[in-house]
Copies of this chain bind each other. A is one copy, B any other.
Amino acid sequence: MLKAELDKKISTFEELCRSKGLRLTHQRLEILKELIQDTSHPSAEDVYRRIVKRLPMISLDTVYRTIALFEENGLVKRVEVLDDKSRYDSNLEEHQHMVCVRCKRIEDFNWQGFDKLRVPGNVRNWGTVMSKHVELRGICKECLKKERKRTP
Contact = CB atoms under 8 A, between A and B. Distances in A.
A142 to B, nearest CB: 8
Q: Is the interface of A mostly helix, strand, loop or mixed?
A: mixed
So how many copies of this chain end up in the complex? Answer: 2
A128 interface: yes
A125 B86 CA distance: 26
A64 to B, nearest CB: 13
Interface stretch (A7-15, A30-38, A115-123): A115-123
A140 interface: yes
A118 to B, nearest CB: 7
A132 B122 CA distance: 22
Contact of A127 (B81, B117, B138): B138
A130 B123 contact: no
Contacts of A126: 98, 107, 109, 138, 140-141
